[in-house]
Amino acid sequence: MSEHIVSKKIYYSIFATLMVLTGVTIAVAFIDLGRLNTVVALTIAIFKATLVVLYFMHVRYSSRLTWVFVGAGFFWLAILVVLTLGDYATRGWLNGAK
């Protein structure tokens, strides 16, 4: 597998997308959506991060093994957050339930 060179056009369009999404993040933060504010902010942030990983960091054009490394990292992060929050969310279900 030879080295893939990402074209400048892709870099510039990713850059433009990231900038626009930053603007959207700020704009949405000033609108009251209740709990959805956090959901929207995080969704945009995750989308931006994915763009950076796939294109700026070339993962889209990398080997399967690189995908495994990257995927494992974020999978473990998911375990950290989901299990901890699962604990916090369900405390009191056994004792304090009414």
Provide the minimum distance between the beta carbon of 96 and another protein in the complex, in angstroms, as a whole number. Answer: 17
CB of 12 to another protein, least distance (A): 8
Report the site for another protein in 45-84 (rule: CB under 8 A): 45, 48-49, 52-53, 55-58, 62-63, 65-66, 69-70, 72-74, 76-77, 80-81, 84
41 binds another protein (CB under 8 A): yes
Q: How many residues sit in the footprint of another protein (CB under 8 A)?
A: 49
Give the pair of three-digit tokens for residue 68: 């495994």
Q: Report which DSSP code applies to 1.
A: -
Closer CB to another protein, 74 or 92, in the complex? 74
Instruction: Return the SS3 of 48.
Output: helix
**How far is 7 from 1, CA to CA, in rounded Å?**
18
Selection from 83, 70, 80, 14 nearest residue 47 by Cα: 14
Cβ atoms < 10 Å from Cβ of 55: 19
Interaction between residue 39 and another protein (CB under 8 A): no
